[in-house]
Amino acid sequence: MTGWSQALSAHPAMPEETQTLTGNRGLQLEELLIFEQNSPGHCGVDLPEPPAHKSRLGGLERRVPIGLPGLSEPQVVRHFTRLSQKNYAIDSGIYPLGSCTMKHNPRLNEKMARLPGIADLHPLQPLSTIQGALELIDTLTHWLKTLTGMPAVALSPAAGAHGELCGMMTIRAALEAHGDPRQRILVPESAHGTNPATAAICGYAIDPIPNNPRGRVDLTALKAKLGADVAALMLTNPNTCGLFEDEILEIAAAVHEAGGFFYCDGANFNAIVGRVRPADLGIDALHLNLHKTFSTPHGGGGPGSGPVALAAELAPFAPLPWITHGSKGLEIVERANGSAAQTIGRLKGFHGQMGMFVRALSYMMSHGADGLRQVAEDAVLNANYLRVRLGQATGGALSQSYPGSCMHEVLFDDRFLKDTGVTTLDFAKALIDEGFHPMTMYFPLVVHGALLIEPTETESKASLDQFADTVNGLATRAKAGDIAGFQAAPNLTPRRRLDETAAARKPVLRWRPEMSQQKAAE
Amino acid sequence: MRYLPLTPADRTEMLVAIGAGSIDDLFADVPPTARRAGLVDLPLAQGEIEVERALSRMAAKNVAAGSVPFFIGGGAYRHHVPAAVDHLIQRGEFLTSYTPYQPEISQGTLQALFEFQTQVALLTGMEVANASMYDGATACAEAVAMAHRITRRAKAVLSGGLHPHYREVCQTYAQFSGLEVQTLDPTPGRIENITIDSDTACVVVQNPDFFGELRDWSALAARCRQQGALLVVAVTEIVSLGAVNPPGEMGADIVAAEGQGIGNALNFGGPYVGLFAAREQHVRQMPGRLAGQTIDADGRRGWVLTLSTREQHIRREKATSNICTNSGLCALAFAIHLALLGETGLRQLARLNHATACNLADRLTAVPGAQLVNDNFFNEFCLRLPIPAAAAVAALAEKGVLGGVAASRFYPERDDLTNLLLVAATETVTKEDIDDYAAALGEVLR
C-alpha cells in the first residue's frame, strides 16, 4: 500500500484539506438538474419555421406552458456526460450481480441495430418492404429453438417478467381449453419475485416450496403439494443459489403426472447454453432474457427482451404476432383466427423488441455453436474459481451456503460476518469504495444475509483475482473489528449512503420550481 | 473468440485451483441423459466482418423509411432524433449499467430518471410519473389494472378510438384477472356513446385517437368523477402534447402514453418507452420503478429508487405489477431529446408537424376521390378512398411511396372501414415528398 492510499483509508470521510469551493472533487463533478439550468427561450435543436397553414387543432391548443427548460446542445451534452460519470458500468469493471448476468456488451451489436434497414423501419410497413426484418426474426427463432430444443418460440415479450407472463398465460389457456384452469402455482422460496407476481396476475394462488439442505427444491415437499388443483411449477434452473436442480427429471415427471405444466425461469440460461437443452429436462415453457445470456445491454434498467420457448402442447396458445412462411415470402400472423384461434392474444404493441433481436443474433452468430458452449463453460469456470478463492473451505474468507461446486454463480451468506457487527449491506458498501460493484445482496431469501456472485465469462483471471483479493481482504478487516469503517462506507463515491427511509416516507418524485427557489434561499 | 478473456492456460490453471479434472466435472449435476457431448446444430463462430456482412444483407432487403416518401404512423412516428441523443445513450456508463439498485454508484441513471419523470409529468399535465414501462400498450393495460385496484370495480370501458393494439393488450392482460373489459366499436368521424355505471373502474380513451381525431375529454372526465370511475387517457403520439391541451388539463386520472416519438427510432416496433403518469394520491398504487429525491449521509441532495414496497422484488405476489426490467435507456433517450428541445423546441416541433400534416391533407384531398374523415387532427388523419385502402397502400408502395396504414389491417371484419387510410406527416416530410405522394395517389385512384 502506498502512502497516498494509506492516507485515504485512514481518513474515510473527505478530509478538510481536500474540500473544494465548488463541491467538485477532481473528476467527480457536481451537476444541477436540467430544470435548474434554464435559459428561457433557448433551444438545443434548430428547426425550420412551420409553413403557413390553417390550424386544425379544433380549439384544443395547449393553453398552459409545459414548463420545460431551455438549453443549448453543449449544455445538454455536458449535463448528461457528467451524469454518466456518476455511474458504475460493466465497461468500467466487474459487475458481479448474481442472477443478472452482467457480461460484456459487444459494440458490433450496437452497430448492427443501427443499420438504417433495421432502425429506420416502421412496424406497419407493407410486407414487401420488410422481408429482411422478418428473415432476421425467423433466423433468431431458429437459433433459440435449436438452443432450447423446443418447437416454438414466442418473441414478443419485452423482458423476463413479461416472458413469464406469456408463459404462464399460455399454460392457463391450455388448461382452460381442457376445461380445468386449476388454482395453484408452486413456486420455490428461492424464486425471483417476478415469479409469484406473475402467477398472481394470471389469477393463481401461490404455494411456496421449501429448499432441501442442498439448496435445491425439496422433492418430497414438492410431491406432497402436487395435486389435481396445481396448474404449474415455476422453477428457476440453474436456481438462484447457483445450483443445477439435479433432481429435475424427477421433478418434471412428478409435475406432469399430476397434470400440471413445468415452467422454467431461464434467467440463468448462461450457465448451460450450448451444453444442455431445456427440452431434455422436461420443461414445457421457458423464458430467455436476451439482455442476460445474449449480451444485449441493460441500459440502466432496460430495455430487455424475453422470448419464451414453448412445448408443442402450448404452442397454439402463443401470443400474437408470429411469422409464417407464405406463398409470397414471410408473413406476419396478427389476427386471432384460423391457425391462431387459440392464441392468448397480444402482449405488447407491434412485433416485439426488434432492436434487441438484432443485437442477440449478432452475438450468437459471432460466438457460433462452439463459442456459445464455451460461454457456458467459462461462466461456470469463473464462478467456481471465485468459489474456491473466496470460500472458507478452500482458504478464502466467506461462508459458502451450500458446499460443493456451483454453476454460473456462487452463493455465500453472512455467517462469516457473525459477531463482527458488520452487515452484508455494510460489506457491499465497503466494496464500492474499493472500486467494485457489489454482488447481489439479501437475495435469494433462503439464506441469511445472502451474497450472490456471478462473474460471467467475460472476466479475465486477473480481474477475478483482484476481486477475490479485495473481498477476502475486506473480510479480514471486518473480523479485525473495523465496524465504524464499514458502517461509514462508501466514502469515495459521488454520494455517500442515501437515506432511503426518508425518500419513501415523504416521496419527492419530480422537480418543482419552488424546490430550487427554497434551496437558493437557504 | 474475442469476447472471452480466458486463455487455454488460464482454464487449465483454474481447473487445477478448483480441483476439477475437467470442465465436465463442473456439470456433473446435469442428468446424464441431458448432457450434450457435441455441438448444437448451428453455424460455427464468425468474425466481425462476416457477421456484419450477413446482417447487413438482411437489412438491405428492407425499405428504410428514410429512403422513400414516408407517411406511416398508427402508433409509431418517424421523427428526427438529434445526433447528440444517440451519442450520449451509447456512453458505456449509461448503456452498460444495471438497474440503479446501488444508488451511491448510480446517481447518473437516477438523476436522469428523476428528470425524465418530471418531464413526463409536465408534458402530460399530471402530478407524478414513473420511470417507464415497456411501451404505450402495456402502460395502458397497467393503467386499467391500477384503476381496478383503486376503485375495486370490475369493468373497464375501452373507447373505439383506442389504438387496437392497446385494446388487445388490455384484453390479454385482463383475461385471467377477474376484470371485465368492454370494448366499444370504432366510429371514425362520429362521437361515440360511452356509458359509465357503478361497476365501471375506468374509461380508456385516446387523444388524438387512433384515427387522428382530437377530442376534448373534459366532460367525460367530469362524468367519470361523478360516477366514481377513473379516466385513463392514452397518447400514442407524444409530440402532440407540444401543441395540444394535455390530458391532465382535461381531468385525466391516469395517462398511459407511448414515448417513442421523442428520442427513439422506429426500430420496427421496439424497443419503445411506455410513459405512465397519475395523480399523486394514487402513487402507491402505481406500477413500475420510481426515482425519488433524498439526502446522503453528508446532507447532500441525491436520488434513490423508492416506494419499492409496491414492487415484485419486495412484495412478490402482492406487488402492483410484475414488471422489473423496463425501458431505461429509451427513457434516457427521451429525456435527452426533450432536454435539447426544451419548451420552445418542442412547441415549434409540434407546430411544424401540424403544419406539414395540414398541408398534406390539403394536397391529398385535392386528389379526386379522396375525402378527409377528420374534423380536426394533429399530425395524422384519416382519408376515405374510393377503393380499399389496403390495395391503395400496396399500389403506392409499388410507386415507391409508403403512404400510410389501412384501417382494415386492424379491423378486417369491419366492411365500413375497408376504404379508410391513416396518413401521418412529421417534420421529416419534405415538400417534395408531399408532391410525390399527391401525384402517386392521383395515379392510384385514377
Distance of CA B57 to CAs A43, A116, A326, Å?
39, 12, 21
Secondary element (H or E) of residue B423: strand B420-424
Per the prediction, chain A carries an average pLDDT of: 95
Percentage above 70 pLDDT, chain B: 100
Nearest CB to A460 within list B6, B108, B303: B6
User: Which DSSP string corresponds to B279-304?
Assistant: -GGGGGG--S--EEEEEBTTS-EEEE
User: Which pLDDT tens digit goes with each residue over A324-358?
Assistant: 999 989 999 999 999 999 999 999 999 999 999 99
* Contacts for A443 with CB less than 8 Å, ≥ 6 apart: A98, A99, A240, A450, A452, B313
Cell of A457: 465469462
Which residues of chain A does B296 touch, with a Cβ-Cβ cutoff of 8 Å? 495-499
C-alpha cell at A21: 469551493
Q: Report the C-alpha gap between B165 and B136 in whole angstroms.
A: 9
Closest CA to A442 of A452, A457, A455: A452
- Of B287, B109, B103, which is closest to residue A297 (Cα–Cα)? B109
Spatial distance between the Cα atoms of A170 and A165, rounded to a whole number of angstroms? 8
pLDDT exceeds cutoff 60 at A242: yes
Residue B442: partners with Cβ closer than 8 Å, 6 or more residues away: B367, B368
Q: Which of residues 349-368 of B touch A (CB under 8 A)?
A: 349, 351-352, 354-356, 358-359, 361
Band (pLDDT 50/70/90 cuts) for residue A15 is low
pLDDT band at residue B310 using 50, 70 and 90 as cut-offs = confident
A514 touches chain B (CB under 8 A): no
User: Alpha-carbon distance A216 to B399, whole Å?
Assistant: 62
DSSP A275-296: T--GGGGT-SEEEE-TTTTT--
Task: Catalogue the E-assigned strands of A320-409.
Answer: 322-326, 329-333, 399-400
Q: What cell was used for B331? A: 427513457
On the question of pLDDT at B372 being above 80, the answer is yes
Is the CB of A276 less than 8 angstroms away from the CB of B30? yes
Q: Where are the alpha helices (DSSP H) in A311-353?
A: none
| Grid cell 429525491 in the structure block, residue | B293
Grid coordinates representing B62? 428492407
Among left, alpha and beta (phi > 0; psi -120 to 50; other), residue B393 is alpha
Cβ neighbour number for residue B388 with a 10 Å cutoff: 15
Q: What is the pLDDT of residues A48-94, one digit of tens each?
A: 999 999 999 999 999 999 999 999 999 999 999 999 999 999 999 99
Is the bond into A196 cis (omega within 30 degrees of 0)? no
Q: Which helix (H) or strand (E) holds A264?
A: strand A261-266
Is A506 at the interface with chain B, CB within 8 A?
no
pLDDT at position A14 over 60: no
| Residue A518: predicted pLDDT | 72
How far, in Å, CA of B134 to CA of A163, rounded? 12
Contact (CB, 8 A) for A234 and A207: no
- Cell numbers given for A42: 433557448
Distance CA A77, CA A83 (A): 10
Strand partners, B274: B133, B258
Q: Is A507 on the interface with B (CB under 8 A)?
A: yes
Q: Is the pLDDT of residue A13 over 60?
A: no
Looking at CA atoms only, how far is residue A98 from chain B in angstroms? 12
Structure letter (DSSP) for residue A183: S
| Contact between A305 and A157 (Cβ < 8 Å) | yes
**pLDDT tier for residue A521 given thresholds of 50, 70 and 90:** low
Q: Is B286 exposed, middle or buried (0-12, 13-18, 19+ CB in 10 A)?
A: buried
- Residue A69 Cα to chain centre, angstroms: 33
Hey, are the CB atoms on A200 and B317 less than 8 Å from each other? yes
The residue type at B31: P
Nearest CB partner across the interface for A356, out of B118, B271, B378:
B271
In the sheet that B200-206 helps form, which strands lie side by side, from edge to edge? B128-129, B274-278, B254-258, B230-235, B200-206, B155-158, B180-183
Mutate to test the interface with A, among B105, B110, B117 (most CBs of A within 10 A): B105
> Across residues B218-235, what is the average pLDDT?
98
Helix (H), strand (E) at residue B233 = strand B230-235
Q: How confident is the model at residue A522 (pLDDT cuts 50, 70, 90)?
A: low
Which chain A residues are Cβ-neighbours of B114 within 8 angstroms?
A: 33, 509-511
| A440 confidence band (pLDDT: 50, 70, 90) | very high
For A73-82, how does the pLDDT look when each residue is reduced to its tens digit (9 = 90+)?
A: 999 999 999 9
Q: Chain B within 8 Å of A18 (Cβ-Cβ)?
A: no
Contact B316 A206 (CB under 8 A): yes
Q: In angstroms, how far is CA B31 from the centroid of its own chain? A: 43
Question: Tens digits of per-residue pLDDT, B62-117?
Answer: 999 999 999 999 999 999 999 999 999 999 999 999 999 999 999 999 999 999 99
- The pLDDT confidence band at residue B319, using thresholds 50, 70 and 90, is confident
Read off the pLDDT of residues A246-283 as tens digits, 9 standing for 90 and up. Answer: 999 999 999 999 999 999 999 999 999 999 999 999 99
SS3 (DSSP) at B384: strand
Do the chains contact at A47 and B137, CB–CB below 8 Å?
no
For chain B, the average pLDDT equals: 97
Do residues B272 and B139 touch, judged by C-beta distance below 8 A?
no
Across the interface, whether the CB atoms of B376 and A57 are under 8 A apart is answered yes
CA distance A380 to B18: 11
Alpha-carbon gap, residue B149 to B321, rounded angstroms: 11
pLDDT on residue A11: 38
pLDDT greater than 50 at residue B325:
yes
> Per-residue confidence at B357, pLDDT binned at 50, 70, 90?
very high
Task: Supply the pLDDT for residue A520.
Answer: 67
Residue A46: partners with Cβ closer than 8 Å, 6 or more residues away: none
Structure confidence at residue A4 as a pLDDT band (50, 70, 90) = very low
The residues near A147 (Cβ < 8 Å, ≥ 6 apart) are A273, A274, A277, A372, B40, B42
CA-CA-CA-CA dihedral for A467, A471, A473, A476, to nearest 10: -170
Q: What is the mean pLDDT of residues A483-504?
A: 96
Cell for A235? 422453477
Q: What value does the mean pLDDT take over residues B196-218?
A: 97
Q: How confident is the model at residue B317 (pLDDT cuts 50, 70, 90)?
A: confident
Q: What gap in Å lies between CA A133 and CA B41, rounded to an integer?
A: 23
Cα separation values, A120 from A131, B80, B179, B207, B415, Å? 14, 11, 38, 25, 32
Chain segment B11-43, per-residue pLDDT in tens: 999 999 999 999 999 999 999 999 998 999 999
| Selection from B1, B220, B339, B248 nearest residue A62 by Cα | B248
Render pLDDT for B240-258 as a digit per residue (tens, 0 to 9). Answer: 999 999 999 999 999 999 9
**A148 grid coordinates:** 432450447
| Tens digit of each residue's pLDDT (9 = 90 or more) over A109-162 | 999 999 999 999 999 999 999 999 999 999 999 999 999 999 999 999 999 999
Is the C-alpha dihedral spanning B196, B198, B199, B205 positive or negative? positive
ipTM of the complex: 0.98
Q: How confident is the model at residue B309 (pLDDT cuts 50, 70, 90)?
A: confident
Q: Is the backbone peptide bond immediately before A238 cis, with ω within 30 degrees of 0?
A: yes
Render pLDDT for A277-294 as a digit per residue (tens, 0 to 9).
999 999 999 999 999 999
Residue A2 pLDDT > 50: no
Q: Is A65 near chain B, with CB under 8 Å?
A: yes
**CA separation for the pair A33, A212 (Å, rounded):** 50
Type of residue at A173: A
Searching chain B, which residue's CA lies closest to the CA of residue A495? B104
Prior bond to A213 cis, omega within 30? no
- Taken in order A382, A385, A387, A390, the sign of the CA dihedral is negative
* A253 CB-near residues (< 8 Å, 6+ apart): A282
- pLDDT of amino acid A7: 36
pLDDT recorded at residue A1? 32
Chain A contact for B146, CB < 8 A? no
Cβ-based contacts of A503 with chain B (< 8 Å) = 292-294, 304, 306
In degrees and rounded to multiples of 5, residue B430 shows phi and psi of: -100, 170
How close A111 gets to chain B, by Cα (Å)? 9
Average pLDDT of the segment spanning A4-13: 39
